[in-house]
Structure 1
Amino acid sequence: MTAKIAILGASGYTGAELVRLIATHGGMEIVALTADRKAGQAMGQVFPHLRHLGLPPLARIEEVDFAGIDLVFCALPHATSQAVIADLPRGVKIVDLSADFRLRSPEDYETWYGKPHGAQDLQAEAVYGLTEFYREQIRAARLVAGTGCNAAAGQYALRPLVAGGLIDLDDIVLDLKCAVSGAGRSLKEPLLHAELSEGYHAYGYGGTHRHLGEFDQEFSALAGRPVHVQFTPHLMPANRGILATAYVKGEAPAIHDTLSQAYRDEAFLQVLPFGELPSTRHVRGSNFCHIGVSGDRVPGRAMVVAALDNLTKGSSGQALQNANLMLHIPEHTGLTLAPCFP
C-alpha cells in the first residue's frame, strides 16, 4: 500500500529536501503541502527544481483534511510545532524536524529554549530520532523528534566511544564546520552572500548553542553520569554539509576498531580506513555519514571526524529513514541515492 503523506512547512529547505527524496520513494504519496506566506502557490513556483513533479499546491495548515493521512512531516520553525502537533488527530504518525521535542526533560527544554514547553504530554511521548540508536523505539512510536544536524554529526562520531569507555569523558573538544542552509531559508542580514562569503566564523560559542542540550542528554545517559563536551560550531560559506572534528584522549587504533564494529551493519554510516578523514563534498545530497579516525603526534590523543549533509542525513533524510520504520517500509527506501559530485 502507498502511504499518504503531508509535509507541514514545505516552503523551507527541509521541506523541499523531503519532497526531493520522497519523489524517488515509491511507497509514499504526498497529498498535502503547507506553507504560511506562500499558501496558494505551486511548489514549482517556490522551488523551480521541483516543477517536474505532480505536487499538490501549497495550502494553510487549517485547510488540510487529515482524514486518511498516514504520516505528517512537521518542518515548521522551532516553538511552532508544539501547538500544531497537539491539534493533529491521534491516529496520524508524526516526524517533527524542529527542536520542540528533542529534549526529554521539560526543565532542560526551558533552560535551552528560554520558555516553558507548551505540550509536555507530547514531549514525554516523543522518541529521539537518531535512527541507528533508537530503531526499535522509533518503529513503535507515534511521534519522533528529529535530532539537530550538529547533534547528529557529533553523536555519530562519539556515541560508541562514550558508551564503551574508550575516551576521557572529561576532555572532549568538538569543533564543527556548518553550512549556511542549517540556518533556514528566512532572510537574515548575516547570511547575505556579501556578509558570509570569503570567510567563516564561530557562533553559539561559550556553551550557548542549543544543541548542547542534546549532547548533554545523550552522552550523560550513555555514560551513566554527567558528560559535558566543549562544543563550538563555525559557519562556513557553503550550502550543504557539516564536518565535525572531535579531539579526544584515547588510543586511536582502538577507537577506530570500536567505531568500525559499531557501524559494520549500518548502511548509511561508513567508517573509512584508519588515517583517512572524510570530506563534506563526498556526502553532499546523500543520507550517508562518513567517519574517519587519525592518531595524534602525542600518544594517547586522537581525532574523530564525521561528515554528513545537514539537510539530508542531518535532517530530512533522517526524517524519512524514521518514517520508513514507523510505516513498516524497508528502512533504506528512497535514501540510496549516491552523493552528488562534484
Structure 2
Amino acid sequence: MAHKIAILGASGYTGAELVRLIALHPNMEIAALSGERKAGLAMAEVFPHLRHLELPALCRIDEIDFSEIDLCFCALPHKTSQEVIRALPRNMKIVDLSADFRLRDPGDYEKWYGNQHAALEQQDEAVYGLTEFYRDEIRSARLVAGTGCNAATGQYALRPLIAAGVIDLDDIILDLKCAVSGAGRSLRENLLHAELSEGYNAYAIGGTHRHLGEFDQEFSRLAGRPVQVQFTPHLIPANRGILATVYVKGEAQVIHETFAAAYRGEPFVQLLPLGEAPSTHHVRGSNHVHIGVTADRIEGRAIVIAALDNLTKGSSGQALQNANLMLGEDETEGLMMPPLFP
C-alpha cells in the first residue's frame, strides 16, 4: 500500500520538483498539495509541465486532513515553516525544506535569520538532512531539516577532508556559483530576465550569507573546534545548478584518496578521476553530485570542485532521499533518473 504524501508549498520550485520526483515513485501517492496564494487552482494551471499527472488541486493548509497522511514535505518560506510544523500532528513524519530547523542552537537561528525560534520543542528532535552523513539518525527521525543547497554543495566538497584532517582548517576559500532558481519563485526586480541575463554577480559578500551558519555548525562539530570558511556566493544566469570551487592547503593525491574512501558505495556521489573537473551540465535534473580534485601549481595546495542541481540533490531530491529512509523504502527509490543533457 502506497504511503500517502502531502506537500505544503507545492506552488514553488521545490514543491513542483517534489511532485516531479514522486510521480516516479512506486510506493508514494500524493494525497494533498497546498499553495496559499494559488488555492483552488489545478497544478496544471500553475505548472503546465505537470499536466499529464493526476494530482489533487492546490488548497490551503487548514483544508488538509492530515489524519491519513504518512509523511509531509514542508516547502514553505523560512519562519512560516516553524509556525506550521509546530501545529502538525505529532505522529506524522515531516521533511522540512526551509532553513527553520537546520541550526541546532536557537541563538544561531536568530543571528542568521533575524527571528526568534518559534518551535523549540520541534527543534530538539530535528535531524540535519545531509543524507550521506546522517543516514542512521534520519532513519529513526520524525522531523528532518533539509540543508541549504549552497550548504550541501560546500559540505560534499569539504566534510571528508575536515574529518580526516588532511587540509589546513584555517585556510579554506569557498567560491560558489548558483543558478537563479535557488532564489525561489517570488517576483524580484533583480531576477528579471533583462536584469539577470548576460551578467554575473557576487552577493552576500564578506560573510553575511545565511548558509554560513550551517558551515560553522557542521564544520566546527566535525573538527571539534571552531572552523570558519571564507565564502562568496555568485548568482549566474542559469536556471539550475551549483558549482563550488574550493581552495585548500593539502596534497591533491591524499585529498582524492580521502574522497574515494569516504564516498565509496554512495549511489549519488561520483568522484571524478584526479585532475578532472565537474560541470553543472552533467548533473542537471538529477540527484547526483560530482566532485573533482586538481593539484594547484603552488606546491601543497589543491582545488576541489563540486557540482549538483540545487533543486534536486540540493533540495527536493535530498528531501525524497531522506523520506525514503524515514519510511523504510530503498534510499534510491524514485531518484535514479540520469541527468538531462544537453
Give the alignment's Cα RMSD to 1 decimal.
0.4
Match of 1:155 in 2: 155
Question: Does the alignment pair 1:101 with 2:98?
Answer: no
Once residues 339 and 120 of structure 1 are traced to their aligned partners in structure 2, the CA distance between those partners, rounded to angstroms, is: 39
* Cα drift, residue 205 of structure 1: 1.2
Q: What per-residue deviation string (whole Å, max 9, x for no partner) do you get for residues 248-279 of structure 1? A: 00000000010011101100001000000000
Q: Report the equivalent of 1:308.
A: 308
Counterpart of 1:110, as a letter, is: E
Q: Deviations over 1:196-246 (max 9, x none)?
A: 000110011100000000000000000000000000000000000000010
Structure 2 gaps, min length 5: none
2:77 corresponds in structure 1 to 77
In 2, Cα distance between the equivalents of 1:158 and 1:44?
40
- Which residue of structure 2 lines up, in the alignment, with residue 221 of structure 1? 221
Cα distance in 2 for partners of 1:15, 1:233 equals 24
Match of 2:321 in 1: 321
Where does residue 273 of structure 2 map in the other structure?
273
Counterparts in 2 of 1:263-302, with a 5 A limit?
A: 263-302=263-302
User: 1:88 offset after TM fit, Å?
Assistant: 0.5
Q: Distance in 1 between matches of 2:179 and 2:260?
A: 27
Question: Partner amino acid for 1:58?
Answer: L
Contact 2:97/2:147, CA 8 A, preserved across alignment:
yes
| AA matched with 1:272 | L
In structure 2, what is the equivalent of residue 67 of structure 1? 67
Which residue pairs with 1:177 in the alignment? 177
**Aligned amino acid, residue 267 of structure 2:** A
Q: Distance in 1 between matches of 2:116 and 2:63?
A: 29
CA distance in 2, matches of 1:201, 1:135: 36
- Distance (Å, rounded) in 1 between the aligned partners of 2:200 and 2:69: 43
**TM-score normalised according to structure 1 size:** 1.00
Q: Deviation of residue 132 (structure 1)?
A: 0.3
SS of match in other structure, 2:37: coil
Alpha-carbon distance in 1 for matches of 2:62, 2:321: 27
Aligned counterparts of 2:80 and 2:97: Cα–Cα separation in 1: 11
2:168 is matched with 168
Runs of 4+ in 1 over 2 A off after TM superposition: none
Letter matched to residue 189 of structure 1: E
Give the match's secondary structure for 1:313.
Answer: helix
Query: Partners of 1:306 and 1:175 in 2: how far apart?
Result: 11
Instruction: State how far apart, in whole Å, the 1-side matches of 2:124 and 2:240 are.
Output: 32
> In the aligned structure 2, how far is the partner of 1:70 from the partner of 1:225?
39
Q: Is the 8 A contact 2:79 2:115 kept in 1?
A: no
SS in 2 for 1:134: helix
User: So what's the TM-score if we normalise by structure 2?
Assistant: 1.00
Aligned residues: 342
> How far apart in 1 are the matches of 2:39 and 2:168?
51
How many Å apart are 1:304 and its aligned residue? 0.4
Matches of 1:113 and 1:283 in 2, distance apart? 30
